[in-house]
Amino acid sequence: MTNILDSYALDRWFTPEAGLVDIPSAIDGRVVARASTRGLDFAAMVRHAREVGGPALRRLTFHQRADMLKALGAHLTAHKDALYALAADTGATKRDNFFDIDGGIGTLYAYASRGRRELPGERFVVEGAPEALSKNGTFIGLHVLTPLHGVAVHVNAFNFPCWGMLEKLAPAILAGMPVITKPATATAYVAEAVVKLIIEANILPAGALQFVAGSTGDLLDHLTGQDVLSFTGSAATSQALRDHPAVSRNAVRFIAERDSLNAAVLGPDAVEGTPEFDLFIAEVVREMTVKAGQKCTAIRRIIVPKAQESAVIAALAVRLAAIPVGDPRRDDVRMGPLASRAQRTATREAVREIAAEAEIVFGDPEKVEPVGGDADTGAFMAPVLLRCPEPLTATAPHAVEAFGPVATVMGYDTLADALVLVAKGEGSLVASVYTYDPAVAEELVFGIAAHHGRLVLIDRDCAKESTGHGSPLPGLVHGGPGRAGGGEEMGGLRGVFHYMQRTAIEGSPARLSALTRTWLSGAPAPLSAEHPFKHKFDALSVGDTVETASRTITLEDIEHFAHFTGDTFYAHMDEDAAKANPFFPGRVAHGYLILSFAAGLFVDPAPGPLLANYGLDSLRFLKPVSPGDAIRVRLTVKNKQPARKPEYGEVRWDAEVFNQDGDTVARYELLTMSSRV
């Protein structure tokens, strides 16, 4: 019995009864699922996200949301074998599933880790340092990031039904924004299975995730300026979404990742026989055949020195001929079919357009002999390699994307020509450069960086551990200018901040310190009756302060420190040389001597709840300390954060070191762990 895909709306599953569209298997054309959204109330889904999902997520801290992502990753990992089996009908081999299914789960883990490590245990982010807005410091400003009060609508492509959904979902949920996700219908049965596992896990709060299997209906009509629309797919669909009346009228945040004629550039030094030449050939073949070339990051344009053109074509032909195409469930198959016969038809048509200005030098887009598959009922297509003889004047190879196992070789005479060829792609997600010559690498990288969201430099030194040309990573930006859509996804916390509003807040240091739970210079800093190091984490308050007695630094202190540490830099040991230095009045104390003496002034020596000093941030030495100067320290609780383990918490202290005249000589932030038990 054919599987009818369910949508998940208003925290319940909805099974359509009319308007069903058949979804065929890429292997043999049989109908594997049917989908429709007829009967879905999209306006109610949007309201539910805003009124139920949004408030529930915003009540949680970043750390709590990060923990949910980690739990989701663990749950999906336990069930990924079932997803692997289901994905075969999309044409995915085991190798393809590693990128899609394991890659998607890995993105959940990556954002869970970043949320815990890089975001506060709060519901907002303070971005950057305060801005002084008044002469006496009683009026300041700063920027905060808070979750938008809307819904994130994610419209995904067919090629990565798992990763494409989860790489958008993870940063949105971490930001505190509910999601309505809509996969491409052609592979929606895999996305549905992932969502069913997520709902089954009962980890996300009500309203945090809704799922659409089929068309979006009037969903976009209900979007406002508090919403985000994120899309991956074709340029034509991207334009239609961007130009939607509600999207343009309400300035809905729009993130697009679309068509991309990505390039791989072989440096003139990377001649046949060099490691870089071999790495180039291997990477091009991999990018042409993983997911049957159906990757937005796949290599479409192979840009090589004309002197190496024949060698490159010959080497690629040998490697491509050794790639078995067929049933992706077979262990001896390296490349499966395209996602559908409609996709194969579109790819063949694109090859014909490119071939008007190029010649096919390997493969036949109309012929394939699949292993364990049927060429007529399945969507199989053999790899096709073209060569463009006049790439500087050609149009189609730089403008038409054959979204399959297809790439075009283009020769260049000079590096300047190579830069022109890359730029003719009018903006791409990624380009890769293969050279061992530092001058070539510099000219290529800074010549093409403006046209790309990501650049990969592969050579003999990094190849073994390189993640390759076509692998978007959670910590790096995925997106690109121009033809690639102008959007950005992931990129570490950059992807999270797409779903948040940056707001400038102005007020007194006291008011802003209270709001942000972070002590700011000029805010009250009450002296503690008892040393703050004797207080457990939960008993400490932001602003708690200790001021120390002073200590005079002598010439003997400086000389002892110099000989004890080995730091006999002339500014500490040679009076005449020090005076000749425009920064010093004569011999001065070592910066680290000042820090050491400062610690001696503020440390409480007895055992207590302070467990460890684990770091120091933002250190600046602001004024030299001469023999005879006396230093003292003011130490203030700047911020508190819960740690990964409940037994302790992290405390950030503002440490300011003064001389006898009240001038600041050093300032930094001290990081400690304090017990909670």
- Backbone torsions φ then ψ of 180, nearest 5 degrees: -115, 115
Task: Kindly indicate the confidence band of residue 150, based on its pLDDT and cuts at 50, 70 and 90.
Answer: very high
Identity of the residue numbered 164:
G
Query: Other C-beta atoms within 10 Å of 526: how many?
Result: 10
Dist. CA 554–CA 621, nearest whole Å: 19
Answer whether residue 552 shows pLDDT above 70: yes
Q: Which pLDDT tens digit goes with each residue over 360-379?
A: 999 999 999 999 888 889 99
Residue 482, SS3 per DSSP = helix
Task: Kindly indicate the confidence band of residue 345, based on its pLDDT and cuts at 50, 70 and 90.
Answer: very high
Answer whether residue 290 shows pLDDT above 60: yes
Dist. CA 360–CA 38, nearest whole Å: 45
Q: Are 362 and 322 in contact (CB under 8 A)?
A: no
Answer whether residue 208 shows pLDDT above 60: yes
- According to the model, what pLDDT value does residue 617 have? 92
Least confident of 48-62, 481-495, 504-518: 481-495
Q: In terms of pLDDT, which residue wins out, 552 or 100?
A: 552
Annotated catalytic residues are: 257, 296
Average confidence (pLDDT) over 273-280: 96
Task: Kindly indicate the confidence band of residue 222, based on its pLDDT and cuts at 50, 70 and 90.
Answer: very high
Q: Are 191 and 165 in contact (CB under 8 A)?
A: yes
- According to the model, what pLDDT value does residue 472 have? 87
- According to the model, what pLDDT value does residue 236 have? 86
Dist. CA 426–CA 68, nearest whole Å: 40
Q: Which pLDDT tens digit goes with each residue over 629-677?
A: 999 999 999 999 888 778 889 999 999 999 999 999 999 999 999 998 7
Nearest in space to 91 (alpha carbons), one of 187, 5, 4, 23: 187
Task: Kindly indicate the confidence band of residue 1, based on its pLDDT and cuts at 50, 70 and 90.
Answer: low
Q: Spell out the alpha helix ranges (H) of 428-533.
A: 438-448, 493-497, 509-516
Q: Any bridge partners for residue 180, and if so which?
A: 153, 210
- According to the model, what pLDDT value does residue 8 have? 96
- According to the model, what pLDDT value does residue 2 have? 67
Dist. CA 302–CA 280, nearest whole Å: 10
Query: Other C-beta atoms within 10 Å of 581: how many?
Result: 14
Average confidence (pLDDT) over 567-591: 93
Task: Kindly indicate the confidence band of residue 571, based on its pLDDT and cuts at 50, 70 and 90.
Answer: very high
Average confidence (pLDDT) over 460-465: 92
Average confidence (pLDDT) over 260-285: 96
- pLDDT > 90 in the chain, percent: 81
Dist. CA 194–CA 190, nearest whole Å: 6
Least confident of 191-195, 479-483, 500-504, 604-608: 604-608
